[in-house]
Structure 1
């Protein structure tokens, strides 16, 4: 299928939403962004909608909760709320799926989206997180709502060895098993060689709600062992050339053996039952996530006017889910994904003057993605899917008068997915009967499209910078889920068209005096054929394909009236509508599994002395009442449950004993509020109606050398 499409990788404004004094000031030419154009650029040159989560901010949030999805829900305004579980289901960005990267290596599995990609790394290994908001094609398949790029730590010293050691304990005020975590960072430089070694281990304790009752064991993070290792070696060949190799590995495994006591949706939560026993024979979690990368930079390839970057990578990923009885015989499933790829970037300076310059970035992306979902007993839930993606691209950037930035470019996507022969699973209907398994003959699915980008940013002065953009993504998300519920005998008969998202954005950002930073953004994204989960009478999830419009606003304010105090917050709101019959009538709504409730984030940070600071964060999720229950049964459909409002406060403080030693204390859910996360309500199922974590404290000791 051939289409000509205009697409923008990422265009808009930049937010540095932090709660640490040193990181709150706008860093004009000193702040660089890597993800927006796949090269280092000053924020003054990028017409991009980006949130940067800094290292100080990550560390501050780590004191409260080491779950990376929790850290992001408190720092990215337009990101959906965390489920509090091993899955990041429902944590969409601007109402659409997000592509997760580690140093540019894709972690997401768009062919069969398993919602485990956000939780693919320990935060101790991350230097910064760059979030590109809005549809993007710059990194290929899966970025319908944007990109989250975890940028791992690098050496920052000329010492032969330096390091950071951390140990901490977590616990709740109801007794039970404590949690423990430890991490070690070593870095240094020996002549032309520099290195980073990061190791982390965490063992979570019991997880109980505000009443001291065990949370449901389904996708629980309780009694989970997590391991993370990062090794990065860099060698400066000369002033212009550098080569870097790295390995990042992550694994998590839960040995929680707790039964389940199913509650009643909206009335009694499903809880962990100490007298019962788990039906799971394989520990939940992500047993492996191996990432290998080699990166080569040459700043002076052709007479000083062209630079070259080559980034080659490989990923080996497997994640394990909980027990399911929706198919015959029941069991646990795995998603297994292996990726190999390379990104080749050339950057040529066309001209450069005192006030203006122009450059062109061009190259080729290659990706091979092999993904499958299988049961523990060897049965296939999806067929083997083998995608080959080649994408040449070109991006032109012009900076005029140090005020106006214009970007535009082209990218040609060429994707072929080879699908193996398979038998669909016989699923169990709600009345206890079974659907019939059928044999499906595989084959090749071919996709190609010409995509482009265009956008501008006008820096009028420090007080106001304006931007406008049009952006698109082109993805073949969730083919595996479509195939596994097939009622056709060959893939040629299956509806598996791509998702094409058009994103329009307008906004402003600026700094008023030295004490107020702000941004405000509005956006609309459309797709002629979107994709939402729906649950049929056989309890199996299918993909609803229909035209969609998602629109919203978000904004941010930060105040620093005096040096020792800063405070601020953000607001985000979005809505999604769809035309189920493709007749232009957008009277139906995209369900709550994608459209999060309006959210307010607020914080205050006080630093009365140079060695002591104390802070308070607040998250308020508004009520979300967008659907009506079934008139005859009184029950909500999946994704349509009414979500009540809730407010959570987190407390954090640290004390620097001296330049080497620091103590930190964080308290999550400070007022021990008993509530249910949003996913428990919109899921609208008895087994998924669960409480959130009650009060939990974390105490950490840090040593730097």
Structure 2
């Protein structure tokens, strides 16, 4: 079975694909990457598919939409489309959950996935986004589909003060939709050895309306929301070999939207917001806090041929959901997570010849993750979960004749989770039946595993560079959700085994001419015990643990025929199958909550004169029709709804008044297309059937000094 799937994926990769404008794979093939192996290296040395969204591209997309989930959907081919909500449910990478980092600090909460980990930072403070596609263990728990690492800005000049000031307004052609944003970035060198970066951003959104001017659903809405982001980064160079750096990044979002909910009818009438809310005393939904503190030390020569990097970090995160009456007496829930971590990386040169070298990267990671989901009134929806992960690792990298790169590594996961005693919540099911609370005895869970990776890249010539790799991830995903639906009085009787993913990848990339770049990639990922949300007979959501195979293809083409114009695009396709009875029968498909529809991204960017830049982005999501409705009821179950195709165009432009001042104008959904995001269809629930925003414009004034 596995060999057949590999062959199919490899054959399909012979089709023509494309990738988004200005991605570093296309424009700057020597770009330095840190995420792939925890050290700086050229992208030409990585035996796998990596997407890097650079600062220019982030700023260009910011002109259209400041929501980071929207920026990612237009720049990462194998990432599912955005829901347009505060939740990034369903926005998987290669059909699996992704681990989100900020400068290497984990943002995801895999013990209880709150689906808020993508929207935890303002794009104005991001220098680049590194996306490592495919299972990875290099940063620990949660990277089944890959890693998204937001790399924040650093000081790059010798001035004492330099910066960027931005102010902008957003709005739709309907009343009440006006919003505004402002950001200030400062950086510089106070002395020869002491540098800094400071930033603050604020955004206030207006009402969000569809193409006909109707208020979108207030559930998970980004409307009437205040978003804050602050950063302070201080660095000191003791000498050319020793540097210490301390940073703080804080983010918060709170909504004061007070719209009533008018539930529609799936497939026919959208759920909308109208009138006023019920007047319940509720906490504003959003992410009230996301504090990230990091202290790092670099020694380029701790001893002969060896460098050292040490990171200490803290993340304090809380997100708040809207009011729900699915449990007795109703209420709002929170996911609260605190992480304390330390990483020590050594990099030793084994040999260094004229055209060949070898090095060993090794060290240890320590992470303590304390996560819980509670209601605002103090009731526990999950028990307290306290995870300690100690993981030594080693990676060997060999470069031969500047053409052949060989990598191989091992990581030993030693994880212990202490689970507290708790009482499950009394719930009201969709059919009106009542489930009584039960007491669940906590205890200790222990997980140990040795995971590895190996990859080869051969840069034959500029036109063709081939790569292949095998990598693994190890994660304890959604333990909290499993525990909160306990029917057993002890955790030892529950299915809490981890997810181990094996990822196989084969691809080619290169520059055929000075004006044409490409990449073709095929992949297969398998897991003996995956995790997918499915709908039980009483229409409640449960987690299915079963063997899985996910496979797909992706790629890009980029054309730069002249200096004043470039264009291209990308294509991604995937499929996922499972064996629910673990009997070797893989005829059941993984549902659409994980397996997204094929996606085409296309763009054109032109600079007809030096001061003016204009461009157009297109997103085409294919139809996804993989399941049949129930023969008796005619209804789809959760995750299996048919998703219609849709096409969206975004316009972006800028005008350089002079070397300091710039004006930018962007229009999202340029032709005011009426459509629904994919989640509205595949969720197959009346409450989730919502429209997407209609045409929305953004105007930004920028001053750079």
Under TM normalisation by the shorter chain, which class is it?
A: over 0.9
Deviations 1:376-410 (A, max 9, x none): 11110000000000000010000001100000111
Per the TM alignment, residue 431 of structure 1 is displaced from its structure 2 partner at its CA by 2.2
Whole-Å Cα distance in 2 between the matches of residues 658 and 189 of structure 1?
Answer: 25
Deviations 1:108-157 (A, max 9, x none): 00000000000010001100000000000000000000000000000011
Deviations 1:323-361 (A, max 9, x none): 222211111100000000011000000000111000000
Per the TM alignment, residue 447 of structure 1 is displaced from its structure 2 partner at its CA by 0.1
TM-score by length of 2: 0.96
**Are residues 278 and 605 of structure 1, via their aligned partners in 2, closer, same or farther at CA, if it must alter by over 3 Å?**
farther
What residue number does 2:275 align with? 274
What residue number does 2:426 align with? 426
What residue number does 2:102 align with? 102
Q: Secondary structure at the match of 1:481?
A: helix
Per the TM alignment, residue 278 of structure 1 is displaced from its structure 2 partner at its CA by 5.9
Whole-Å Cα distance in 2 between the matches of residues 388 and 209 of structure 1?
Answer: 45
Whole-Å Cα distance in 2 between the matches of residues 240 and 82 of structure 1?
Answer: 43
Q: Does 1:351 align with 2:351?
A: yes
Per the TM alignment, residue 25 of structure 1 is displaced from its structure 2 partner at its CA by 5.2
Deviations 1:229-281 (A, max 9, x none): 01000000100000000000000000000001110000000001125536561
What residue number does 2:223 align with? 222
TM-score by length of 1: 0.96
What residue number does 2:451 align with? 451
Q: How does 1:508-523 map to 2 (within 5 A)?
A: 508-523=508-523
Whole-Å Cα distance in 1 between the matches of residues 41 and 172 of structure 2?
Answer: 44
Per the TM alignment, residue 453 of structure 1 is displaced from its structure 2 partner at its CA by 1.4
**Are residues 24 and 358 of structure 1, via their aligned partners in 2, closer, same or farther at CA, if it must alter by over 3 Å?**
closer
Whole-Å Cα distance in 1 between the matches of residues 22 and 596 of structure 2?
Answer: 27
Q: How does 1:22-171 map to 2 (within 5 A)?
A: 26-29=27-30, 31-171=31-171
Residues 597, 623 of structure 2: 8 Å contact kept: yes
Whole-Å Cα distance in 2 between the matches of residues 631 and 615 of structure 1?
Answer: 47
Residues 164, 704 of structure 1: 8 Å contact kept: yes
What residue number does 1:262 align with? 263
What residue number does 2:244 align with? 243
**Are residues 261 and 247 of structure 1, via their aligned partners in 2, closer, same or farther at CA, if it must alter by over 3 Å?**
same
Whole-Å Cα distance in 1 between the matches of residues 125 and 540 of structure 2?
Answer: 38
Whole-Å Cα distance in 2 between the matches of residues 596 and 518 of structure 1?
Answer: 23
What residue number does 1:312 align with? 312
What residue number does 1:212 align with? 213
Per the TM alignment, residue 433 of structure 1 is displaced from its structure 2 partner at its CA by 1.5
What residue number does 2:372 align with? 372
Per the TM alignment, residue 44 of structure 1 is displaced from its structure 2 partner at its CA by 1.8
What residue number does 1:655 align with? 655
Whole-Å Cα distance in 2 between the matches of residues 393 and 210 of structure 1?
Answer: 52
What residue number does 1:7 align with? none
Deviations 1:590-646 (A, max 9, x none): 000000000000000011111101000000000000011111111100000000000
Per the TM alignment, residue 429 of structure 1 is displaced from its structure 2 partner at its CA by 1.6
Deviations 1:504-531 (A, max 9, x none): 1100000011100100000011111000
Whole-Å Cα distance in 2 between the matches of residues 689 and 48 of structure 1?
Answer: 37
Whole-Å Cα distance in 2 between the matches of residues 391 and 381 of structure 1?
Answer: 30
Per the TM alignment, residue 17 of structure 1 is displaced from its structure 2 partner at its CA by 5.3
**Are residues 53 and 558 of structure 1, via their aligned partners in 2, closer, same or farther at CA, if it must alter by over 3 Å?**
same
Deviations 1:537-560 (A, max 9, x none): 455422110111100000100000
Whole-Å Cα distance in 2 between the matches of residues 251 and 538 of structure 1?
Answer: 37
Per the TM alignment, residue 574 of structure 1 is displaced from its structure 2 partner at its CA by 0.2
- Which 10-residue stretch deviates more, 430-439 or 630-639? 430-439
Residues 457, 466 of structure 2: 8 Å contact kept: yes
Q: Secondary structure at the match of 1:316?
A: strand
Q: How does 1:570-581 map to 2 (within 5 A)?
A: 570-581=570-581
Whole-Å Cα distance in 2 between the matches of residues 391 and 165 of structure 1?
Answer: 42
Q: Secondary structure at the match of 1:402?
A: coil
Q: Secondary structure at the match of 1:355?
A: coil
Whole-Å Cα distance in 1 between the matches of residues 411 and 246 of structure 2?
Answer: 28
Per the TM alignment, residue 427 of structure 1 is displaced from its structure 2 partner at its CA by 1.4
What residue number does 1:195 align with? 196
Q: Secondary structure at the match of 1:502?
A: strand
Deviations 1:422-470 (A, max 9, x none): 0111111222120121100000000000112111000000000000111
Q: Secondary structure at the match of 2:434?
A: coil
Residues 422, 441 of structure 2: 8 Å contact kept: yes
Whole-Å Cα distance in 2 between the matches of residues 175 and 33 of structure 1?
Answer: 45
What residue number does 1:19 align with? 21
**Are residues 585 and 559 of structure 1, via their aligned partners in 2, closer, same or farther at CA, if it must alter by over 3 Å?**
same
When the two structures are aligned, how many residues end up with a matched partner?
A: 689
